[in-house]
Copies of this chain bind each other. A is one copy, B any other.
């Protein structure tokens, strides 16, 4: 059977000397999908790198913010025009529910992200243009000197897809071409998204290699790709094992890599909150744990509370929710293999002493609807548990609606705060709003660097930018963003220490 073509070098073409092939497997029916996709070898990669470098040079000389913004808007339209086939294909490949999840939540989130990225480009403030008039030194954030390699995860076939998701949108908005490495769990979905993107590239007048796609590689080829001198940076969302291997290779080559690897997202329930509204919290907790069959990166994996009669009743309520509900279907072969222990709805309960005796082992992320309930002796032990947490994307504290939990909060919060990227009060962490203040990041090993976020416009673009400085450069040779005149009249620039939308 013919293999599906890859998108490299500005055209759909047969993979050159692929090292193997694969098909998607429906994780619910276990049926293989009919299309066969290539596992790309060194020749596809080499062509992609050359074309990616050429696209970088072409963007530098002829690319414009307007054209990139037009591409992203047009891509969103192309996705909407293909919504039916995208949803149908994603259902077959992932067994995720068509509605509301795929059609009503994830697809609109994806097109919204693309349009937000287009707006960020048109606005231009993300570049943080900084002008010191006295010294005539001017700087701003701009593209890297090579294409960005994006590795997509298996749990969001649209919103984190390597050719359409948040990392893709951020890399493009920062002015970089993308080499996408699709997730092998949903190659057909990725192909349709890439067709939509390629139609938008053609309509925008941008380099045809703005986006390139390979579906799968060997691990060795992946390591080669992230450490290639000709790339600008990489972004990876997935397992800690694969992420750390890619990080090691990229680090050795001096290439930035941004990773979102693992997080248990601890939730601390203070005694007053459980006494006041334990039943409601138990429902929120179950809903958050089971969302997307428990495969969200912000799923609450550890819940910590103090031993008392209210927390005992709370645990019984949570157990009842877990027992009553059928587990969702877990994603694809790779997912199934690594989570064999966690295929049913699972709730584990143990003491604070037990947790503190084995903190590292118990923080291994369970990728499924499993949560660990840790019952501590008292607030002091809850604080000790917080101190033993590794880096996480989120940390949550529920407290009484009035001030009665404030003393406990003041003990636990400073410790928890230092371990997480986003601290929440009185809500579960699974919602990740695409807003400027969002942080979908956190200390290692949740990510590779505590200063960056993978979600939130324009902050997510900062990962894919270099600082470009111009010292005594003549006015007509400066990028438009750094000339005396504000190029669009709305871009925020830091001129002699004050943020302004005015001209110099």
A424 touches B473 (CB 8 A): yes
Q: Which of A12-20, A345-353, A437-445 contacts B (4 or more CB under 8 A)?
A: A437-445
Number of interface residues of A (CB under 8 A): 71
Contacts of A131 in B (CB 8 A): 437
Smallest Cβ distance from A397 to chain B, in angstroms? 9
B470 touches A423 (CB 8 A): yes
- Given A423-B473, A439-B467, list of 18 further CB < 8 A pairs? A138-B437, A139-B422, A145-B443, A145-B450, A247-B251, A256-B449, A256-B450, A256-B451, A417-B468, A421-B466, A422-B470, A423-B470, A424-B470, A427-B471, A436-B497, A439-B468, A450-B466, A453-B467
Asked if A331 CB lies within 8 Å of chain B CBs, one says no
Asked if A485 CB lies within 8 Å of chain B CBs, one says no
Smallest Cβ distance from A266 to chain B, in angstroms? 14
Asked if A141 CB lies within 8 Å of chain B CBs, one says yes
Asked if A418 CB lies within 8 Å of chain B CBs, one says yes
A477 touches B409 (CB 8 A): yes
Assembled-state Cα–Cα distance A426/B471 (Å): 9
Asked if A419 CB lies within 8 Å of chain B CBs, one says yes
Contacts of A248 in B (CB 8 A): 251-252
B444 touches A451 (CB 8 A): no
How often does this chain occur in the complex, in copies?
A: 2
A465 touches B438 (CB 8 A): no
Q: Which 7 A-B pairs have the closest CB atoms?
A: A254-B444, A439-B469, A499-B499, A251-B251, A450-B466, A422-B469, A145-B418
B466 touches A451 (CB 8 A): yes
B469 touches A438 (CB 8 A): yes
B254 touches A445 (CB 8 A): yes
Smallest Cβ distance from A254 to chain B, in angstroms? 3
B433 touches A135 (CB 8 A): yes
Asked if A323 CB lies within 8 Å of chain B CBs, one says no
Known: A251-B248, A443-B145. A477 touches B139 (CB 8 A): no
A selection of 19 A-B contacts at a CB cut-off of 8 Å is A60-B414, A130-B436, A132-B435, A137-B437, A139-B422, A144-B450, A145-B450, A247-B254, A254-B444, A254-B445, A417-B468, A421-B468, A425-B473, A425-B477, A437-B469, A439-B467, A441-B467, A443-B466, A452-B467
Assembled-state Cα–Cα distance A497/B418 (Å): 27
B467 touches A435 (CB 8 A): no
Assembled-state Cα–Cα distance A497/B251 (Å): 34
Known: A137-B433, A254-B445, A436-B497. A421 touches B467 (CB 8 A): yes
